[in-house]
Structure 1
Amino acid sequence: MTLGANRQVINLFLRYLRRSRWLLLVLLLVHAYSLPGVPLMPQFAMYSPSIVGVQSGLLQMWRLVLVLALLAILMARLSRESLLLGLYSIMRYVCFWGCSAKRIATRIGLTLTYADALMNESHKISFQQRLRQLSQPTQAVPTSDMTLEQRPFIWLDYVSFCSMMVLFWWMP
């Protein structure tokens, strides 16, 4: 098994791809038609996407597909508490602008709980029933207390955090 490519990760990745297919297509089209350059199909002249635009759109699509693959691995391997603990640990060192890492982790945790409840509920009802429910007030999602057991950083955490910051700094 290489880098977590088991059945669960692949299914999750394919589900993410299916859900983001329109975003990927629009991303390609926006780049293809908004960047100037040599037309891809010269016979259509100004109605043709540019070669540079298509290349840039494909590059951005590839980056988003890689992010979705990494997200699928992350979501399949980590529990919700581990994911929130990781976000909280990173946010503690990144919150220079006065934001609270505890509040951000709490909000993300509540959002994940609410999204899970909606996802489990959406498989049981039809699209028309879901449209009718949009006009009704939403019900409170049952939440449980969540405590994050904070662990100290190890050397691998520092290496991965620093390499991630370097990649984000130099990424065009």
Structure 2
Amino acid sequence: MHQPITSLFSSQSTEGGKSVLEDEQDDDDVMVTKLRDIAKERHVIFVEKVTKVEASVNLKMEELTSEMSKAVVKIEQNYLRLHSKVDVLVDAIKKPVEYHTLFSTKVEAKTETNSKVFEKLEEFLGSLTESLSKLVLSQQSTISQDSILKMISSLESNLKEDLSPLHRQLL
């Protein structure tokens, strides 16, 4: 009843003694070959373009990496310069503070010591003046009480004059 389709086509013949089915297969093979060749050509073109893009991207990455490296080096150099300047400032501030602290404690100690010395000197001069003023000298003495008081006053004023620069320095 029904014959397979291939038997129908195979029974038909063409001009060269080939069947229609064989012609179609040959045409299909030719078409597949052409398509394969086109695909190969396009693949080659695609690979070339990808290779060019890859080379371009690699070049740009190298340039970017180089620029970034230079920027990092500049930042590090600026950091080191800034750090050294800050160190100089810290030292410049630390030294006067240390010297001031040291000097002020020494001056305070020296002032205290000198003020005690001045107090003792003033006490001594006061007691000496008092003792001499109480001393009753005889009329026959060649040294009068007034001359002794004048000598003590002179001595006291000379001491004050000599010690006043030292006293002013300490205050």
Larger Rg: 2
Whose helix proportion is higher, 1 or 2?
2
TM range, normalised to the smaller chain? Answer: under 0.3
* TM-score of the pair, normalised by structure 2: 0.24
* TM-score of the pair, normalised by structure 1: 0.23
